[in-house]
Amino acid sequence: MLLAATDIVKQFGENGVVANDHASLSVVGGTVHAVVGENGAGKSTLMHIIAGTVQPDAGQIVLQGEPVHFRSPADALAAGVVISFQHPRLVPSLTVWENLVLGAEPRTPAGTISRRAAKRRITDRSFGISGIDLDARVSQLSSGRIRLVSLIAAMLRLPSDKPGILILDEPTAACGPNETDEIMTAMRATAKAGHGVIYITHKIAEVTDVADTVTVMKAGACIASLRRPFTADEIARLMLESGTTFARAEERPLAAGRSSTRAVRVSPVSADPAQPMIAPAFTAHGITLREGGRTVLDNVSFDVRAGEILGLTGVRQSGIEAIEEVLGGVRRPSAGTITFNGRNLTGLSPHALRGHGVGYVPTDRLLRGASMESSVAENLIVLERKQLQRAGVFLPTKVRGYGRRLTEEFKIDAALHLPLNRLSGGNIQKVILGRELAEHLRLLIICEPSWGLDIRSRELIVDRIRSAADAGAAVILISTDMDEVLDFADSVGAFYGGRLSEVVPVAETNRQALGRLVFGSSQTTEQSRA
């Protein structure tokens, strides 16, 4: 046993989230150990605790038979624990070789950096990864090659005189097939050298190919570990099972376990089949997005009718972030068209989209959806500022009246004069969501609507989204939370590998079937059949 993390507990006080709930994980030297689970299961937090970047509230870590307490990443690195982060931390302006030896540069007798010794060290310890131009600047590399460089940087820091732990957080997320194969080969070679490799991923097919052991996490706990042989279906069933123990129960329709917030709506996709179908108000056709030599979105097509809530789900790096940015006007697609009520909206900016009655609530609301230094009132009136001023001057009475109406309507617990950065995370979310949902929109693109909200606030936002649809708006709900999508969307499609599954009515699917599409253990999508 190389590593044993036992009963790890971590709660983040600022939002009350219990990220790890007595999580336990054991890693044997010379093996690849995969860690899987849905978004928010606690995988990354547990890895950051093992790597010393986050401090646990309780629990113990034993490394090579000795209890350890890492107060910093430097402590963990000195003990032989290395982490390769999900988002590579490289300096774009430096060359590949300069990044790879940064902070541990080999020196000549004269004290200068030895380029020859650096390259020899990299070549000797790249564990089978080849074909990277060491003299190229990182800014010139594709996202997949950057992932390879980041992996090499981590492997170079493994100890050479004893077994170490290499933690990889979604290492193949931005990689094409060739780069993925190289990473798989490097992981096997690293394990063969005696190290323990911990591998976080959402790609079950890769787990069955490379892992010796797989641990499934749910709600902050490690609920089960499987040793070879195991199948993709076994892993998917564990991830999707509603309880905390593995049971080979027959699949149940999701409706039996849906949240009480689910309401019956008369929608275009649940109406009487004998009635004529309402024509789509919004259509995305053949949306393709290429980035750095890889295809991020691959011929994605779907439509939404007025009054319909379409749910799009998937794990991060599956294409779900890219479709959000294309629909919201942040990125222009490489191919394909977007039309709404007969008008071509392809490539329009968020501001221009607003002029066509399109509302957009981004996932990254704190960076792109708010001004944290501005007051609650200033954030609430952004979309109504022309109606609240005269001759270019704001009317204080109207501003206060509008702000108070929204704070009461959306249960925002904050004074209007407070800067947004003084509010709790949930109240910040309600300010941003409330501002958008107060508008009379014809198309609403809303992403991760429940992030940071308690149950009552979530129900309030859900009701407002449904009200917008009932009033005739077409709603596109984008969420990595399958339960959220299934709870209140009318129809649903899943992203995997940049492709979108066939969109089906929610009443015709369940959590298990959708989960197999999200995690790539099913090949029944229309596009994969094509």
**Quick one: pLDDT at residue 91?**
85
367 domain-assigned: no
Separation CA 15–CA 79 (nearest Å) = 32
Query: Residue 139: inside a domain, yes or no?
Result: yes
Q: 139 versus 326: which is more confidently predicted? A: 326
Domain co-membership, 286 together with 221? no
Which of 44-58, 245-259, 358-372 has the least mean pLDDT? 245-259
Q: What are phi and psi of 36, to 5 degrees?
A: -125, 165
Q: Does residue 194 share a domain with residue 118?
A: yes
SS3 percent helix, strand, coil of the chain, rounded to 5, is 35, 25, 40
Those residues whose C-beta lies under 8 Å from the C-beta of residue 392, and which sit 6 or more positions away, are none
Q: What is the pLDDT of residues 65-113, one digit of tens each?
A: 999 999 999 999 999 999 987 667 788 888 889 888 888 888 888 888 8
| Within-domain flag for 414 | no
Over 60: is that where the pLDDT of 276 sits?
A: no
Residue tagged 């691959």 (tokens): 298
Does 61 map to a domain?
A: yes
Give percent of the chain with pLDDT exceeding 90.
35
Among 249, 271, 303, where does a domain finish? 249
Residue 255: exposure state from Cβ atoms within 10 A (0-12, 13-18, ≥19): exposed
Does residue 369 form part of some domain? no
Asked whether the CA dihedral 173, 177, 181, 186 is positive or negative, the reply is negative
- Total number of domains in the chain: 2
SS3 12: strand
* Residue 210 falls in which region: left (phi positive, over 0), alpha (psi -120 to 50) or beta: alpha
Within this chain, do residues 210 and 321 fall inside the same structural domain, yes or no?
A: no
Of residues 17 and 9, which shows the higher confidence score?
9
> Comparing 62-66, 79-83, 116-120, 453-457, which segment has the lowest mean pLDDT?
453-457
Tell which of 249, 270, 300 closes a domain: 249
* CA angle (497 as vertex; 494, 503 as ends), nearest 5: 25
CATH number reported for the structural domain that contains residue 9 in this entry:
3.40.50.300
Q: Which distant-in-sequence residues (6+ apart) come within 8 Å of 382 by Cβ?
A: 435
Residues 315 and 300: beta-carbon distance below 8 Å: no
pLDDT of residue 252: 27
Distance between CA atoms of 195 and 13, rounded to whole angstroms?
35
Cβ–Cβ < 8 Å for 254, 511: yes
Q: Tell me the DSSP string of 277-314.
A: PPPEEEEEEEEEEEETTEEEEEEEEEEEETT-EEEEE-
State whether 203 and 133 are in the same domain: yes
Which residues share a beta bridge with 495? Answer: 500
Residues 6+ apart with CB under 8 A from 197: 31, 32, 33, 165, 166, 168, 187, 190, 191
Contact 479, 493 (CB under 8 A): no
Residues 172 and 319 in one domain: no
* Over residues 291-311, mean pLDDT: 91
Average pLDDT over residues 515-521: 82
Q: How far apart are CA 462 and CA 259, in angstroms?
A: 12
Average pLDDT for the chain: 82
Question: Are residues 209 and 347 located together in one domain of the fold?
Answer: no
Mean pLDDT of all residues in 275-287: 81
Q: Please check whether residues 296 and 223 belong to one and the same domain.
A: no
Q: Are residues 235 and 286 in the same domain?
A: no
- Burial tier of 155 (Cβ tally within 10 Å: 0-12, 13-18, 19+): buried
**In terms of domains, do 445 and 325 share one?**
yes
Q: Could you say which of 249, 271, 291 is where a domain stops? A: 249
Phi, psi of 339 (to 5 degrees): -125, 150
For residue 256, tell me if it sits in a domain: no
Length of the chain: 530
Are the CB atoms for 215 and 42 separated by under 8 Å? no
- Please tell me the predicted confidence (pLDDT) of residue 274: 54
Residue 172 and residue 215 in one domain: yes
How far, rounded to the nearest angstrom, does the alpha carbon of residue 504 sit from its chain's CA centroid? Answer: 23
Per-residue pLDDT band for 266 (boundaries 50, 70, 90) equals low
Residues 213 and 312 in one domain: no
Confidence of residue 251 (pLDDT cuts 50, 70, 90): very low
The one-letter code for the residue type at 78 is A
3-class SS string, 474-489 = EEEEECCCHHHHHHHC
pLDDT over 90 (residue 468): no
Give the Cα separation of 408 and 412 in Å (integer).
7
Tell whether 270 is covered by a domain: no
pLDDT per position as a tens digit, 327-343: 999 889 999 999 999 99
Cα maximum dimension of the chain: 86
Residues 122 and 244 both lie in one domain: yes
Q: What is the DSSP letter of 246?
A: -
243 located within any domain: yes
Domain encompassing residue 121: 3-249
pLDDT value at position 253? Answer: 32
What number of H helices and E strands is found in the chain?
Answer: 18, 23
